[in-house]
Amino acid sequence: MSGPGEGRDPDLAAKAAYGRLRAAHLHAVRAALEDHIARLDWPRERIEHYRDQRLRALLAHARERSPFHARRLRDLDPSSATVADLARLPVMTKQETQQDWDSIVTVPDLTRERAEGILGQQRWFSYTPGGQQIFSSGGSSGVRGVYVWDWDLFVSFACLAWRMQTRQERRDPPLRRQAKLAVLQAGGPPHASTPLFDVATVAGMDTVVIPASAPFEEVLAAVAAARPTHLVGYATVVGRLARAAAAGDLDIQPVRVSTNSEPLLEEDRQAIADAWNVPVHNLWGSTEIGVAATGCGGGAGLHVCEDEVVLERVDEAGVPVAPHEPAARTLATGLANRTFPFIRYDLGDEVAVLPGPCECGSEFVRLADIAGRLDDDFRYPTCTVPASAFRSVLGTDPRIAEYQVRQTATGAHILAVGSPDVPSLIQAIASKLRRQGLPDPEVQVDVVDGIQRRSVGGKLRRFVALKGTDRGTDPPAPSGSR
């Protein structure tokens, strides 16, 4: 049955239909959260046993249902495989996941073409008839990706995102005021961050989503009006809000903060401590793998979600290194993803293991705060433009396979691989820059055959600041401009 006005407003109808299914989905999250919280107190032996069983189930399923993984796993016996056996498999790259999409996905009626059709037609977040959700992202590598989360996968990701915080909430004295969560994320489709983080963690909590890519003055005003007890969002945005609070420009008193999507730099962590002196739950993950590690709000670093993800620190040849040795990059295997398995997937990020137990009591391995992915803002004389202003346009255009943005004195020079509508792209980017406070922006878009990547891990430097604006060197030339 349609609600009032739904038949007259297609956007309202789409949101209402999504909301009804999402309500059921959130009930599933809350039910599963109890088990996930209990896992945080597991001893090492139980963590490793559970992880190995989950890994064997994933490998068997992927070999049976995915032609791509059947080829990679032909010499591995899933029934007895351990984490150490993963080193026998080749590394899975982002380029492969997008080029071989149809041979990776395990759902027979879901193809890359159909997924793109869903993204192009949806008026709001939506579910397929099979209960899947489709997202796209430019990601840290600059390659546009299309991703599918099934019903159970979202439940797992949401529990991993919130279980540390929920456990601590239950140990603290109850709030004396109405709980309200401000979600500073992408704000709308096709990004996955809003559904994942717009989840109430306290009984009776209200939530409000504030698009983080809006001009900071608008974000500041929206947060001030919301008066949240809890903040979750991009690390740089939360840090900037904390500095505004310390300067007397923002009057809020959150009791807990959660940061994600960007490295939490020490300067932002210190700003949060100076402004509010509250626990900070930092989070590291990706659209592909989901939540890989979370901060407990007490001890240093991030606890790896070892019950749902396997992380391998490897050298340049893809060979695992010891915990005390430096690593060139990190490979991840998502244990909960049956629909689109990621096995030994190259995240690219460099991570370091922290020794010793954590004061919170959890025996999940800890990593130092991640510093391997950072989309620096572009600083102009009149304003600062966040990378998300570009990413929200370039990373979600199905006609753009990958991109690089180079700052210029008066705007940006964009290299795009694919077949974008260049005039429309220029207009959209210029509009974003004007909204951020850059007057009369000049935007150039070149369609190229390829963009030169870093030799280690094949990562693309997506945002290249102008010399003299806090970052440094000229990028390599593109290959095959046209």
Tell me which of 34-48, 432-446, 448-462 is least confident.
Answer: 448-462
Q: How many other CB atoms are there within 10 angstroms of residue 474's CB atom?
A: 9
pTM for the predicted model, two decimal places: 0.79
The residue extents of the domains of the chain are: 378-481
Cα(238)–Cα(29) distance, rounded to whole angstroms? 26
Considering only 204-208, 415-419, 444-448, which range has the smallest mean pLDDT? 415-419
Confidence of residue 455 (pLDDT cuts 50, 70, 90): very low
Q: Are 101 and 66 in contact (CB under 8 A)?
A: no
What share of the chain in percent tops pLDDT 90?
64
| 448 and 455 Cβ atoms separated by less than 8 Å | no
Task: Give 458's pLDDT tier (boundaries 50, 70, 90).
Answer: very low
57-80 pLDDT per residue, tens: 999 999 999 999 999 999 999 999
Minimal CA–CA distance to 192: which of 245, 261, 247?
A: 261
pLDDT tens digits for range 401-444: 668 899 999 999 999 888 999 999 999 999 999 999 999 999 99
Of the candidates 418, 412, 423, the one whose C-alpha atom is nearest the C-alpha of residue 396 is 418
Question: Does pLDDT of 454 surpass 70?
Answer: no
Query: Is the predicted pLDDT of residue 5 greater than 50, yes or no?
Result: no
pLDDT-derived band at 14, boundaries 50, 70, 90: confident
Dihedral (C-alpha) 267, 296, 199, 212: value to the nearest 10 degrees? 10
Q: How far apart are CA 135 and CA 193, in angstroms?
A: 10
Spatial CA neighbour of 89 closest among 452, 342, 304, 323: 342
**Mean pLDDT, the chain, integer:** 88
Check pLDDT > 70 for residue 459: no
Q: The domain 378-481: what is its CATH number? A: 3.30.300
Q: Which residues of 167-183 are buried (b: 16+ CB within 10 A; e: fewer)?
A: bbbeeeeebeeebbbbb
